[in-house]
Amino acid sequence: MDESNGTKEEAEIAREHIEEQAKGFLAFTGVQRPPPNAVFLLVMGMTGSGKSSFVSSCTGRDVVVGHGLQSCTSDIMIFDFDLDGHKVYLVDTPGFNDTHKSDAETLATVATYLGTSFAQNIFIHGILYLHRISDNKVGGSARRNIDMLKAMIGEAAYTNVALVTTMWGGAGGGGSPTMMSTMEMREILLRREEELGTDRSFFAELIEGGARLVRHGDFDNSGRAIGSSARETDDELLRASALAIVRQLISQSRATGGPAVLLIQHELVEEKRRLEQTSAGIIVRGDLDRTAADYMGQLIALKDMIRSKTQAAATVTAMGTQQSATSASNEENREDADLETEFKEKLATVDEERQVLGSGLQTLQRKEQESLTQKLEAAEERFRAELELKERRLVELERSLQQARRARLRKTEPADKQPTPPQLSRVKEEVRKGRRALAGLKHTIDGVKEGLATGLATSMSSAVVTTVVGAIATTMVCVLM
């Protein structure tokens, strides 16, 4: 792709992405009331469990955005589609094994939106929890995500959960193309599924409480989705599988009393707990405390080891010069200083995460507003800088063309080095479109930022908790008209 054209396309895509997400958040947080047929489903699971692919199958469009776009929006993404007379909103949440974000930060982000939506009488109809069946074993990260799921939703919401196993193999399943080529491999997968469903440290407790274990993209030995036609394409098979799961979850929710009040929503909004006092927050806070204690233990052990080595070295040189003893002491001091610096950095990180957990819902909202504002401003600045590069390129081409014209008069410039008017016209058009796209992006971002500020003021002065992020409200609605 041409570089200039890429700038135009990226800025336009960024604007469309921000507007799409704004619409979803307006509905999810109750600032703009969703239609009466709306259904809100959380999509949860480890990073890499296939959440984005599942959402793409449901919506029929690519929901995976590049880093540049992802960095200018919330870590939660909302996508909607129509199904059987319902407007279904899929709320895609980050996993608790994200290498770029701590569990405390992830919990704070998810809790902010869940608390805000509940305070605005927007309820969760179901939870889709995705898990890779292709994993050889359920490791610590998987158990951690399952524990956090239980702590966040509470036992009363287990009946609203679909435990979706993914990566069964075959077309689009995420595993090896030959994964289902032997009965032996299929038996292995079925044993894994049975283990997940019967072990209480995995899914057994959830299933006992009413959750259902379902398969997404399961393929038989012929390579076709079970119950499918050979004429169907891979994408159609996966879409049919995903929609069947969503339909089942909606029916499951209706049969068990409708939407659920998640435990973390009850704790944050009705009991007005700080995040660290919620069931999920207690788990994360306990991990942080153990991590801090572990750092302290390692530091003490390392200091003792260094001190012992230094003392031994000093004993060996006791009959030597004072300079040797001083050198040993200086070395010990340097080692201690390095260890102390390392310890302080690690402990500071733990303290920062503890501070996040010490927040109530309004503080969490304010922090999310600040984070989103910074992301939006950074995105606008990035696209502006890229456009400026293109504008400089245009100026250079115009200058080169003028020089070439003068050179032709002197007949000193080879013809193949002279920029042609069509080339210059193309670059001019690209810059013009880039400016227009950036102006549209800026208009959208300004609307979102103003709405955030308005929503924050409303939230702090109102007895009812009002969303900070979703309060793109009046300004954002106007932008989207």
Contact 360, 57 (CB under 8 A): no
Question: What are the two backbone dihedrals, phi and then psi, of residue 124, each rounded to the nearest 5 degrees?
Answer: -90, 125
Residue 9 is predicted with a pLDDT of: 57
| Domain regions of the chain by residue span | 16-274, 282-357, 361-480
- At 96-107, the pLDDT tens digits run 977 788 999 999
Mean pLDDT for 294-312 is 80
The rounded percent of the chain whose pLDDT value lies above 90 is 39
pLDDT band at 468 (very low <50, low <70, confident <90, very high): very low
Bridge-partner residues for 214, per DSSP?
164
Contact 448, 476 (CB under 8 A): yes
Helix, strand, coil shares, percent, the chain, to 5? 65, 10, 25
- At 146-198, the pLDDT tens digits run 999 999 999 999 999 999 999 887 434 444 444 445 678 888 889 999 999 99
The label of the residue with tokens 């992006």 reads 441
Beta strands 86-92 and 126-132, pairing class:
unpaired
- At 259-299, the pLDDT tens digits run 999 999 999 999 999 999 999 999 999 999 999 999 888 88
Structure tokens at 343: 């310890």
16-274 folds as Rossmann fold (3.40.50)
The rounded percent of the chain whose pLDDT value lies above 70 is 76
Closest CA to 448 of 479, 422, 417, 418: 479
Mean pLDDT for 51-75 is 73
Cβ partners under 8 Å of residue 244, min gap 6? none
More confident residue, 441 or 420: 441
Contact 215, 134 (CB under 8 A): no
Residue 220 is predicted with a pLDDT of: 56
